[in-house]
Amino acid sequence: MPSLTASRTWQALQEKSAQFQTPEFSLSALFDGADRFEQFSLNHGELLFDYSKNLIDAEVLSLLVQLAEERGLGQATAAMFSGAMINETENRPAHHIALRIPPDFQTNAEVAEVLFKLDMVVGAIHSGTWTGHTGEAITDIVNIGIGGSDLGPAMVSEALTHLHVASQKVHFVSNVDPVHMELTLRGLNPATTLFIIASKSFTTAETLANANLARAWLLEADCAASDLNKHFVAVSSNVSAAVKFGIDADNVFPMWDWVGGRYSLWSAIGLPIALAIGAEKFNELLAGAHSMDRHFAEAPLNANMPVIKAMLDIWYSEFFNTRSFAVVPYSQSLDQLPDYLQQLSMESLGKCVTKAGEPTPTNTGAVIWGTPGTNGQHSYFQLLHQGTTVVPVDFIAIANSNASIGAEQHDLLLSNCLAQSLALMEGKKNPEEPHRESTGNRPSNTWLLNELSPFALGSLLALFEHEVYVQSIIWDINAFDQWGVELGKTLAKSMQGALTDPAQQQNLDASSRGLIKQIKSWNKQEQT
């Protein structure tokens, strides 16, 4: 692929960026004259994307779209939708979009079969026909997984709490710290608890450790080993390992190598979502994602939400040296969305070599972080307004609250969201009291949903997935592998041995040996 930084479009963007970084520049002045909001906002269904408060003009937008075209985005998008082998380092497709194709158009028999099986299991549990070892109906479901097997399902389940069924409660355990499992099991009845073990390989260390704790908890509660299958289902490609653990083969949902963990909530990994909100609502989530898939595939680049969002992030990363982006949902229901997007973006884009194995010539992935508003206003917003580092912000707001109380309070929430984006843009001059001055010219996007429905949430999440893919195409990196994660896993295995066997500590560095020595010293104190 031709050099990214040597292209005339890249150089034109470099020159253009200087205009937005002069002492005289005023972002709010760009709103004078023509209707900037109409020019720099998009609608798709009941999702509004306002990107008018960015450091851009029509020429910048045109150049960014031109750069995307030059980097082969059109061909790359077609390749993903066709199921081509776009995950080159692992020799597999990345075809998660196939999981949300409507049933009438679904051509993948395996996907259709899994969705049918998911509907059957959800129906059996909700109706009470699936019972535990004492014959009692299931009341609690505990999902045991980590990474994409936890973050997506947990986030969506919390976001749609207002739609949860009354007959069951869904819980999530991810951390290998036994405290997480202990606190989750506290108050649960083993006879009415079902565990979902979500691990593609069924070898994930943290997940298996927690699964063994769950198994021991059931056995200690007089559940016979032969009845464990009544309390476990699995989502895994390793059926034999799941069966060896004690899970009936019929209770194992398959996973496919063409679905990456951070893109897997649309698969059987989404079983806890379906159990929380019902199979019908889960299908609405898939439908919303499919709607955004079609928008991404069909809308022209200059009117394409994922493309414009991705190119804005490229604009700031490369020409303003931005290394951090904040996601601030003004919705407590979306509390876990920043964590989910953190994995989606940073695990996908945290790469330092191109697809050809050459060092990347530019910045790539940045730090994604955030919390719900208005909480953030009382912690890190000080830095957003007056700090020396400019952090672009994605504000997310819901026009109609899912709360049954406090209509006026929801207006207060929305007013804070709108006011913060305005304050970041306009700032406040105060030369006589410089400590009170805010420079303004701080960019932000605002995403406005009509309501927090499964369809709208599915559409929003698919948008962010496609945004990440677009960025990977511009940078010529593979968004679908995560080899950097593997090194830590490998070292953790040897470190675990060193914690119990002094002979294995000899080849460790001085820092690791010193930390182990202190750990063992304090372990002895606890035991006496």
Averages of pLDDT over each 10 residues, the chain, 528 residues:
92 98 96 93 97 98 98 98 96 97 95 96 98 98 97 98 98 98 97 97 95 98 96 96 94 96 97 98 98 98 98 98 98 98 98 96 97 96 96 98 93 98 96 94 98 98 98 98 90 92 93 95 74
Residues with catalytic roles: 347, 378, 489
Place of tokens 């109706």: 127
Q: What is the structure's pLDDT at 525? A: 64
**Backbone dihedral angles phi then psi of residue 148, each to the nearest 5 degrees:** -65, -20
All structural domains of the chain with their residue ranges: 2-70+298-480, 95-281, 485-524
Of the chain, the end-to-end C-alpha distance in Å amounts to 64
CA distance 365 to 353: 12
* CA-CA-CA-CA dihedral for 342, 347, 350, 352, to nearest 10: 180
Going edge to edge, which strands form the sheet with 193-198?
169-173, 140-144, 193-198, 232-235, 252-253
Length of the chain: 528
Q: Compute the radius of gyration of the chain from its Cα atoms.
A: 25
Q: Of the CATH numbers 3.40.50.10490, 3.20.20.80, 1.10.3370.10, 1.10.645.10, which one belongs to the domain with range 2-70+298-480?
A: 3.40.50.10490
CA distance 94 to 114: 18
DSSP string for residues in 493-519: HHHHHHHH-GGGGTTS-HHHHHHHHHH
| Beta carbons within 10 angstroms of residue 266's beta carbon | 26
Contact 449, 397 (CB under 8 A): yes
Nearest to 293 by CA among 122, 40, 45: 45
CA distance 38 to 441: 20
Fold agreement between 2-70+298-480 and 95-281: yes
Nearest to 240 by CA among 211, 202, 195: 202
Q: What is the structure's pLDDT at 251? A: 96
Contact 397, 460 (CB under 8 A): no
Which of the 8 DSSP states describes residue 333? G
| Beta carbons within 10 angstroms of residue 518's beta carbon | 10
Is residue 42 exposed (0-12), middle (13-18) or buried (19+ Cβ within 10 Å)?
middle
CA distance 448 to 468: 20
Q: What is the structure's pLDDT at 526? A: 60
Nearest to 59 by CA among 13, 97, 116, 105: 13
Quickly name the fold that domain 95-281 has. Rossmann fold (3.40.50)
CA distance 414 to 422: 13
Q: What is the structure's pLDDT at 527? A: 58
Contact 202, 246 (CB under 8 A): no
| Beta carbons within 10 angstroms of residue 161's beta carbon | 14
**Backbone dihedral angles phi then psi of residue 142, each to the nearest 5 degrees:** -115, 115
Write out the E strands in 57-147: 140-144
Helix boundaries (H) for 177-278: 178-185, 205-220, 239-245, 271-277
Going edge to edge, which strands form the sheet with 324-330?
41-44, 47-50, 444-451, 393-400, 324-330, 367-369
